[in-house]
């Protein structure tokens, strides 16, 4: 059996995903054959993998990023269970890449054994194939109301005999209390697997923190394996929506004399909002996520991103006044882009007997298309070119139930598949596409931004000719590996991965409630 480790966290967005990726990159540099794993992910940010049978399947985008850190192509077994929330009460269940059911609090108990068995089998296969598997937990292992059915945190660690480390975000405050409390709310058998801690996002003098680390060691009997500093450049492929601030990334100064301002509407059920990260890598492009109608008026480009609940999010746009702001932006002739669910909202009508089951509802009417939701989900990789320019290659992927069921003849597409079939639409300064990830294609992104700047009157904006999104992502992964190597006790970490938790770890009362 291979070595392994569970990276648990005190909260969501504590740093589990990035630490897992950093450990994978560090181990890869050592020549270790390492794979990432997350038994169950709850996220609307997903990536597409094409399986051996040629069919597309979904896994959490964070696991695709971790696979890249490990030097691997994404594998559906890296995230066997993906829950995609469509509302506060229900989530679509994606099992080994395929949407199989909808889960609610009422039926989750009945479905859980199947999900757990699938996750355990996937991990066993990976451990038979790789030297090390680094597992990421979900939320917190101390969610005592969920422990009985847990197969993602300590339930997974118990089943697979994995040592665990707990990462906490010191920037949020209360990190010592949350780390102590995490251990103290576990039962004795779970506590025996928790070997120590990692502190994330530290800013300041480490000497001031040292007494706290020593006291934490005394009261828990467990060391802190390292303190990771705050790193401004870690923003690509954010797993959790909590990770999104108002401005994405660190916008570089423009190459010309003007900035290009992009406002992305932060929908309640936003899906794959990471699409706009590629725009944010360009010098002089400032990308803001917003729910303020007034902020759309000042933007050069407004983006409606993907949505897991297109009809519900369209209703929210109207309720908040954002729909009127979008319509006003388009009426002024300023550029507007819809991606996947956002594209569907731009049409004349949406016919949805599947996702929302609300039947036919009017769209924003900015593109002469109608969208009908099909029970069969489209999940596939896509490649082609920019429409009208076959010298501009574009790669992407599709994840959607909606399909264009009617469109005005002669409506020009935005993209073309490799077979020449048109995809998406454009009418004046309004653009729409079902393709996620299209702007990661450097030549297409530059062409699009240059056109948008011209339409918006930003004649002083110049597109950088040398920006590479793939290189930016690789720099992020290298930075994660560097942080692990420089700030963690990698010798102790390797012993933990290879040999398991140290014997004789003390019990921290009170333990799990009865």
DSSP string, 402-427: EEEEEE-TTPPPSEEETTS-EESEEE
Mean pLDDT score, 392-420: 92
CA nearest 330: which of 430, 451, 261, 449?
A: 430
Confirm if 311 and 356 have CB atoms less than 8 A apart. yes
- The predicted pLDDT at position 245 comes to 52
Buried b (16+ CB within 10 A) or exposed e, 266-296: bbbbbbbbbbbbbbbbbbbbbbbbbebbebb
Q: What is the pLDDT of residues 323-358, one digit of tens each?
A: 999 999 999 999 999 999 999 999 999 999 887 788
CA distance 203 to 361: 49
Rg, the chain, Cα only: 23
Residue 28's φ and ψ, nearest 5 degrees, are -60, -40
Is the link from the previous residue into 238 a cis peptide, with omega within 30 of 0? no
Q: What's the pLDDT score for residue 239?
A: 56
Helix (H) or strand (E) holding 350: strand 349-352
| Coarse DSSP helix, strand, coil percentages of the chain, rounded to the nearest 5 percent | 35, 30, 35
Judge whether 434 counts as a catalytic residue. Answer: no
pLDDT tens-digit readout, 95-147: 988 888 888 877 888 889 999 999 999 999 999 999 999 999 998 999 998 89
Does residue 340 carry a catalytic annotation?
Answer: yes
**pLDDT at 221 (0 to 100):** 96
CB atoms within 10 A of CB 314: 26
* Domain residue limits, the chain: 3-234+473-497, 256-463
Average confidence (pLDDT) over 420-424: 94
Contacts of 38 (CB under 8 A, 6+ apart): 60, 62, 63, 78, 79, 135, 136, 137, 138, 152
Give the domain 256-463 fold.
Rossmann fold (3.40.50)
Let me know if 138 is exposed, middle or buried by CB neighbors in 10 A (0-12, 13-18, 19+).
buried
For 379, the 3-state DSSP assignment is: strand
Cα gap 352→102, rounded to integer Å? 16
- With 70 as the cut, is the pLDDT of residue 459 above it? yes
Topology match between the domains 3-234+473-497 and 256-463: yes
Determine the pLDDT at residue 241. Answer: 46
Of 329, 400, 401, 436, catalytic: 436
Q: How far apart are the first and last CA of the chain?
A: 34
What the block records as the tokens of 160 is 């697979």
Assigned CATH class of 3-234+473-497: alpha beta
Tens-digit pLDDT profile for residues 231-262: 877 767 665 544 455 777 788 899 999 999 99
Q: Pick the closest to residue 313 from 59, 85, 60 (CA basis).
A: 85
Name the active-site residue from 340, 400, 401, 487: 340
pLDDT band at 1 (very low <50, low <70, confident <90, very high): low
Task: Report the distance separating Cα 177 and Cα 168, nearest Å.
Answer: 10
The least confident of 179-183, 367-371, 373-377 is 373-377
CB distance 195 to 165 below 8 Å: yes
- Say what percent of the chain tops pLDDT 70: 97
What mean pLDDT value characterizes the chain?
91
Give the model's pLDDT for residue 242. Answer: 41
Convert the pLDDT of each residue in 273-318 to its tens digit: 888 999 999 999 999 999 999 889 889 999 999 998 999 999 999 9
Contacts of 129 (CB under 8 A, 6+ apart): 35
pLDDT of residue 39: 96
Distance of CA 328 to the CA centre of its chain: 31
DSSP for 437-486 reads SGGGSHHHHHHHHHHHHHHHT-TT----SS--HHHHHHHHHHHHHHHHHH
- Sort 459 into a burial class: Cβ within 10 Å, 0-12 / 13-18 / 19+: exposed
């Amino acid at each position: 059996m291979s070595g392994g480790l569970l990276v648990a966290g005190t909260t969501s967005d504590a740093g589990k995903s990035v630490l897992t990726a950093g450990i994978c990159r560090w181990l890869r540099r050592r020549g270790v054959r390492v794979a990432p794993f997350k038994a169950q992910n709850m996220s609307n940010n997903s990536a597409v993998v094409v399986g051996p049978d040629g069919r597309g399947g979904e896994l959490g985008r964070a696991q695709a990023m971790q696979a890249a850190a490990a030097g691997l192509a994404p594998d559906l077994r890296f995230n066997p269970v993906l829950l995609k929330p469509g509302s506060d009460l229900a989530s679509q269940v994606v099992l080994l890449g395929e949407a199989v059911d909808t889960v609610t609090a009422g039926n989750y108990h009945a479905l859980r054994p199947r999900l757990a068995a699938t996750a355990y089998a996937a991990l066993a296969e990976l451990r038979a194939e790789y030297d090390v598997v680094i597992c990421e937990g979900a939320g917190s292992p101390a969610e005592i109301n969920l422990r009985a059915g847990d197969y993602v945190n300590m339930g997974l660690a118990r089943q697979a005999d994995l040592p665990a480390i707990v990462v906490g975000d010191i920037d949020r405050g209360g990190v010592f209390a949350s780390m102590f409390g995490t251990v103290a709310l576990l039962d004795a058998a779970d506590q025996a697997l928790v070997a120590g801690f990692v502190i994330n996002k530290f800013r300041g003098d480490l000497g001031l923190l040292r007494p706290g680390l020593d006291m934490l060691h005394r009261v828990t009997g467990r060391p802190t394996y390292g303190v990771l500093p705050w790193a401004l450049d870690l923003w690509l492929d954010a797993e959790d929506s909590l990770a999104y601030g108002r401005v994405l990334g660190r916008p570089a100064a423009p190459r010309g004399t003007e900035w290009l301002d992009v406002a992305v509407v932060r929908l309640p059920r936003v899906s794959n909002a990471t699409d706009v990260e590629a725009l944010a890598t360009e010098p002089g492009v400032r990308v803001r996520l917003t729910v303020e109608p007034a902020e759309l008026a000042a933007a050069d480009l407004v983006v409606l991103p993907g949505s897991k609940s297109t009809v519900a999010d369209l209703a929210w746009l109207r309720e908040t006044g954002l729909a009127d702001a979008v319509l006003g932006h388009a009426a002024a002739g300023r550029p507007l882009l819809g991606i996947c669910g956002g594209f569907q909202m731009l049409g004349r009508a949406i016919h949805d007997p599947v996702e929302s089951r609300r039947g036919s509802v009017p769209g924003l009417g900015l593109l002469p298309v109608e969208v009908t939701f099909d029970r069969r989900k489209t999940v596939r990789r896509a490649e082609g070119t920019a429409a009208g320019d076959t010298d501009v290659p574009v790669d992407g992927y599709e994840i959607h139930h909606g399909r264009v069921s009617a469109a005005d003849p002669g409506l020009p597409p935005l993209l073309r598949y490799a077979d020449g079939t048109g995809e998406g639409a454009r009418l004046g300064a309004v653009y729409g596409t079902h393709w996620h990830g299209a702007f990661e294609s450097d030549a297409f992104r530059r062409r699009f931004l240059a056109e948008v700047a011209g339409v918006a009157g930003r004649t002083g904006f110049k597109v950088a000719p040398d920006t590479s999104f793939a290189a930016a992502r690789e720099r992020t992964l290298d930075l994660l590996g560097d942080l692990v190597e420089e700030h963690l006790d990698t010798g102790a970490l390797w012993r933990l991965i290879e040999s398991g938790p140290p014997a004789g770890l003390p019990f921290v009362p009170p333990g799990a409630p009865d």
